[in-house]
Chain A
Amino acid sequence: EAQVTQNPRYLITVTGKKLTVTCSQNMNHEYMSWYRQDPGLGLRQIYYSMNVEVTDKGDVPEGYKVSRKEKRNFPLILESPSPNQTSLYFCASSSLTGVVEKLFFGSGTQLSVL
Chain B
Amino acid sequence: DQQVKQNSPSLSVQEGRISILNCDYTNSMFDYFLWYKKYPAEGPTFLISISSIKDKNEDGRFTVFLNKSAKHLSLHIVPSQPGDSAVYFCAASYSGAGSYQLTFGKGTKLSVIP
CB atoms of A45 and B101 under 8 A apart: yes
Evaluate contact between A103 and B105: CB separation under 8 angstroms: no
**Quick one: given A41-B106, A42-B105, are A96 and B43 in contact (CB under 8 Å)?**
no
Q: Contacts A42-B89, A99-B95, A100-B93 given: A105-B104 contact, CB under 8 Å?
A: no
| Chain A hits for B46, CB < 8 A | 102-104
On chain B, the residues within 8 Å of A108 by CB distance are 41-43
Tell me what chain B mostly uses at the interface: helix, strand, loop, or mixed: loop
Contacts of A100 in B (CB 8 A): 93, 100-102
Give Cα distance in the complex from A99 to B49, angstroms.
12
Q: How far is the CA of A103 from the CA of B89 in the complex (A)?
A: 13
Contacting residues of chain B (58-114) with chain A, CB-CB under 8 angstroms: 89, 91, 93-95, 100-107
**A41: nearest chain-B partner, CB-CB:** B106
Question: Shortest Cβ distance from B37 into chain A, in angstroms?
Answer: 11
Contacts of A4 in B (CB 8 A): 43
Are the CB atoms of B95 and A98 closer together than 8 Å?
yes
30 contacts between A and B (CB under 8 A): A4-B43, A33-B101, A40-B106, A41-B106, A42-B89, A43-B44, A43-B91, A43-B107, A44-B104, A45-B101, A45-B103, A48-B100, A48-B101, A90-B44, A92-B43, A96-B100, A98-B95, A99-B94, A99-B95, A99-B100, A100-B102, A101-B49, A102-B34, A102-B46, A102-B49, A105-B36, A105-B44, A105-B45, A107-B41, A107-B42
Given contact pairs A42-B105, A44-B104, a sample of 20 additional A-B residue pairs in the complex whose CB atoms are under 8 Å apart: A31-B100, A40-B106, A42-B107, A43-B44, A43-B107, A45-B103, A96-B100, A99-B32, A99-B93, A99-B95, A100-B101, A100-B102, A101-B32, A101-B34, A102-B46, A103-B36, A105-B45, A107-B41, A107-B43, A108-B41
